[in-house]
Amino acid sequence: MDYAIRFLACLLKWMVIAAVVTALGFSAFTMAMNMSHLYILVTEGMNTRLNVAVCLSDEVELPKFFSQEAYMSDPIYDKRRIYEDYDMQGAVSEVKVTSIHALPWEDKAMVRLEQVVESVTGYLPIAKQTPQQLADPNKIPAPSWADDSAYELELQREGDGWKIVRLTELPDDGQS
């Protein structure tokens, strides 16, 4: 009888250990899945946001990443006026995610990132050039982008995915 009780206690101990290890593994997997999803969403979303701002993409792409309130209130789209007259060919940016805070049981996440715009390529078409500009044989390039910024994004879980619901530009702290 004593042998059976010790055997059951040992079996129960190992079952508890296995359950704890499984729960920890599941939590780690869920956190890793959320982190990778958030990383991809914010990097693709911020690049799409830039492409819309420099007239390379249409605004129909934004609802994949942003809530309507977030992209309607974003001041970056005021810059579209600068690039409307140009034939835009490309915009290259690097999005560096500096921190992600998301727990598996929460429906909100916070992400901090830096977006560095390396180049904006485009030229003023001949039809839109002034006579003085036409006299110059060189192509007239689009204005450069001089707005590298750090952002804090708030994301909300919607169904199986996430959407950026708030985008806040962080003040420049003078470090680069």
- pLDDT of the chain, 176 residues: tens digit per residue: 788 999 999 999 999 999 999 999 998 998 899 899 999 999 999 999 998 888 778 888 899 999 999 988 888 877 778 888 888 888 899 999 999 998 888 899 999 999 999 988 888 887 888 887 877 777 888 888 877 889 999 999 988 889 999 999 888 765 54
Domain assignment of residue 38, yes or no: yes
Nearest-angstrom CA–CA distance, 66 and 57: 15
Q: What is the reported pLDDT for 44?
A: 95
Q: Is 91 in contact with 117 (CB distance < 8 Å)?
A: yes
Q: What is the reported pLDDT for 176?
A: 44
Domain assignment of residue 17, yes or no: yes
Domains held by the chain: number: 1
- Could you tell me the CATH number of the domain that includes residue 144? 3.10.450
Q: Is 86 in contact with 61 (CB distance < 8 Å)?
A: no
Domain assignment of residue 14, yes or no: yes
Domain assignment of residue 175, yes or no: no
Q: What is the reported pLDDT for 98?
A: 95
Q: Is 91 in contact with 50 (CB distance < 8 Å)?
A: yes
pTM (predicted TM-score): 0.81
Q: Which domain holds residue 77?
A: 2-170
Nearest-angstrom CA–CA distance, 132 and 63: 42
